[in-house]
Amino acid sequence: MFRQPLLVLTDSPSGRRALDLAVELAARDRGCLTLATVTDTSPPWWAGAGTGLDAAAEREASCRHHEGLLAAIRDALPHDLSVRTRCLQACERPGTQVLRALDEGVHDVLVVEAPAPWPVAAAGHCSAWLQRHSPVPVLTVREPCR
């Protein structure tokens, strides 16, 4: 049913469950899974205030780091599964980056982690925003019950 899932990766228990679900969806219908990470590349408010921060070098280092993480995850997945990776970087909110990736690709489902409990969710987790604005169905994966 879903052949082109887009998974926004996070490093959490529910992020691992989301990865397992996205792999299952793509493998069941022999589709292609896209793994994505989202990074905010806007310079911090204090950048340029005599700190010597090189924003371009920071963005490049962040991209290399995320591409390495994506490659390691891709290599750990079943070899018969078609997997693409994307490092989403822009000076805009993470949800907007994900929507742009949905528009650019041929994705038919978005798999995201559920919002974290307060107060972490108040810090800007965007899965609820994506549920309202996504042009494709959104599968939201929650943290395991204890």
Residues linked to residue 34 through DSSP beta bridges, in sequence order: 6, 84
Cα–Cα distance measured from residue 24 to residue 27, given in angstroms and rounded to the nearest whole number: 5
Q: What is the pLDDT of residues 134-144, one digit of tens each?
A: 999 998 888 76
What Å distances lie between residue 23 and 5, 83, 91, 140, CA to CA? 9, 9, 29, 14
Q: What is the pLDDT of residues 49-68, one digit of tens each?
A: 555 566 677 778 888 888 89
> What stretch of H or E contains 75?
helix 55-76
- Structural tokens at position 84: 């693409």
Cα–Cα distance measured from residue 27 to residue 122, given in angstroms and rounded to the nearest whole number: 35
